[in-house]
Structure 1
Amino acid sequence: MLGVSTHASEQEKLTLLAEGNELPLLNNRFRIDHEIDKITLLFFRRPGSPAVVLIRPDGSKLYAPHALNDDQLQWHDERGYDLIELRNPMPGPWQVVGQILPQSRIMVLGDISLEVDALPPLLFRGEIIKLTGRVLNDGEHVEVGHFQQVINLQVDFVSTNNNEFTNFGAGTEHVAYFKDDGRGFDERPGDAIFTGEFRLDFAPGQWRPEIALTTPLIQRKVVQEPVVVKEPPLTYELIKGENDADHELVFRLDPELVQPQSVLLQGRIFYPNNDEQVFSLPASALAERRLKISNYDRGRYEVEVEMFATNINGREFMAYLPKHEFVITQPIERLVESQATTPNSEADMQRANLALDEQDSLMTQEQSKGSQSLLENIQLVVLANLVILFIGAVLIRVFLLKKPLVPGANLLFWRKKQQGQLNASQVNLGKNGSKSDKSGEILNLSLSDD
């Protein structure tokens, strides 16, 4: 292929490069003009084959490892191509040796530039953005199928560090890498038109979009004007069902950011018992939509929402909104909880605080009643055990130890018993001829003469 002098006329350029900056290989030979100071060559070869070898007009050879010690040579060897930059190349016919692909063309990379569609000034968090970038070589559209192997497109959002926005000091968000491979939103592979999508899944605020085109030897960057990413134009209010009644999720749209009549909502509800429910809410002129949610009593509920709408600037958009969650912790009598992505007013905050205070009060009362009932049960158990111990002690004293129940009564009974036994003994002795005086101090136990 022939190189192009920077001083060559347009007619010469068209003559030498009849199909832009690329020509069919003629027996793997090409010529470099004597006025070329720097040339970048791109050779496509069979995937996995060794790097090509360049042969100078004087017959000397250039290999990829030569680039390590030669300041005039840069060589990037990939699996399916070689990207080579020559400075002050030897004029004359060159030759390339390698497993070059059939119908492959040698490309001379000139002034590579990048054109990118401008992003809209008003964006929403969770919005899906479609972006298209075009790669030009010396201002001409590149139409080489293998060129997509060489280029990557990276999309970044850089914080402007404006202290008036919540993303102050947030740094850089890497949101997407595009490939010219015909997948996803990319329409055709290898046409040097990069079309892709990405989601604005980061903090709201002011950001500066930066789209970078990168090749092993060439880098280009497009920096666009700052854009503002806002919270979604929708807030939530949850009305919890009384007893077994259904819950109700109220969506409120912001008419200052979105056209209510254009809004379509759809999504899924995840219940505490792992059930899922798909829902869809049609368009309406009203700025309020209501969604019924079955009451499965206690547990965690999650709601995923997709929005299809038109903003106040007339631009249609699609957004995946942040997931909304709420938890039912006890049977509900009458409780209203207000939750919003962005509170609408001070009254909404007060209503939410009152609902939370009422819930805390109910829980405190239940805990107090439970503690009082537990104390009464403990007292009854202790009293019953004391009664059982007392009755057991009485039975043991009376029946096993043969002792009277009252100690005083025990002494009187014992004395009377002893006195009765003594009198009975004296009577028996009298019958046997023994006698005793009335004093009771001398007892005659002698036997009679008979």
Structure 2
Amino acid sequence: MSRLNLGFVPLLLCLLLLPGTLFAAPEDVRLLIDVSGSMRQNDPANLRVPALRLVNSLLPAGARAGVWTFAEGTEVLAAPGAVDDDWRRRTSANLRRVHSRGLFTDIEAALKAATADWDGPPGEGARHVILLTDGLVDVAKDDTRDAASRRRILSEQLERLRELGVKVHAVALSDNVDTELLEALTERTGGWLESASSAEQLQRVFLHMLEQSAAPTTVPIEGNRFEIDAQVSEFTLLVFRAPGGETRLVSPDGQTLSATAHGPMVQWRGEPGYDLVTIERPAPGRWTLDGGLDPDNRVAVVTDLGIDAAPIPAALHSGDTLRLEAWITDHGAPVARTDFLKLLSAKAILTLADDPTRRIDQPLALDPTRNRFTAEVKANAFAAGVYDLSLLIDGETFKRQLQRRLRVTPTPLTLDYQARVLEPASPSENGDAAADAAPRPPAQLRVVLNLERDQVAAESLFGYVRLEGPEGTQSLLEIAAPTSLPMLYELPVTQPGSYRVGARLAARTVNGSSILLEPPDETLEFAFTAPVEEPPAPPPGAFSWLVFALYVLGANLLLAAALGLTWWLFKRAAAKQAAAEG
């Protein structure tokens, strides 16, 4: 690959943007923080505050954000606005107001307050709500009022959130949360749900929530090193460390920085569980992290040369196709000169969160008609689980990365094939009552269809099952909306041998997204003795031209014989009479 000289990048980028290219609209993120009294037990050290500080530091400049606390009512900690230095300072100062003294947990009121200024569908930028709670809907000392509020959230409020194009992401901080409610809010809006088994995990979980909503541009950490290029005006290093651990950072010129020894251009903030190091005008080159290696460590950069990506679903079923699309930006606008983009490479890295050794590297190819790097990946190549997704664009002298998470689950739509050889019908089954019925085949393919009704709209299902047998024989079974579950279908098999079974089914989920199930073809063996086929006897009373012709011929022969005998007798009598008269 040709090496790209970053000294010319600013000049090049001025020439690479399409005329009239619009800047992408910023993401709009609203955070709702539970401050009910149960937090005294679930977050006794108030680790919600350092988790919010992490988000406050890593939110990309230019994004929009707002923060509320809620219990029996709501309180604005940071009014919705553009994220800049002033917004960060005001937000940081107000985080001391996060407490655990609330009497109730009014999630309905919190969602209403956070979305009050949104109207109509979103523009280019997406809308996100991040909800942290540790309990159930609790609005009064009256179970009927609690139940009524919960019903409104799942009906009117959820419908409004969908109409507004809001993705709801939820953090569950205890085992006592209303999991069904949070699953409905996240799944039906395309959001992300994650549980924190303890308050100590909140920082990591909030990082994941940020990356699902307003992900910062990062550079990759490879081992314990990362490269900073000349286009980076500032970077913020997030390092998760073990208790008692220490973080040190070595600059390209060999200078070692730490929490107690760093220059005036370095802001070093140590929080419970992590360090956050921000460096202005960093030296270009290779930086080395001397501290604990952690897959959640990040290097977020402030740069005009960024990366953006098309929306990525939070959840995939194993039959789905993952479509990836990423592009390089300058001041937020896509770079559009193909000859420049051909100097870059791009790939997606998917790593199973629970087992980092299970990794898939997927190259992204440049689409020259759209100036974007794209790929399609079949989700059935993935094991079920949560994946860290990294989208990386590499110009050799610079790298830009976006992080996401996605969950791969078994498809809620299943097909099972069974090869069945049938016993010959008993005499009683071949009696007069069954005389007009089709004969029982020697074997059959049984198809068992099942689906999860809480995930799939059953009435939307359609498709087919295809059975290909010996000598090119083929049968098709049409699949329509099931009337009961599991649904059984049968295809007759009349000849032994190897059969190949394939299927293609489509349906919609309850939240409106598409499901396509196209499982790999399967080969089934049907072993039985083929029945001997005898020519069918004509049914009783059936008309036969052959028999008719034989009857006619026989009748004519008899008639001819009779006429001939009569003529001979007549001639003989006439001859005798003539002799007598003579």
Scaled by the length of structure 1, the TM-score of the pair is 0.43
Q: Which has the larger radius of gyration?
A: 1
Normalising by structure 2, report the TM-score: 0.34
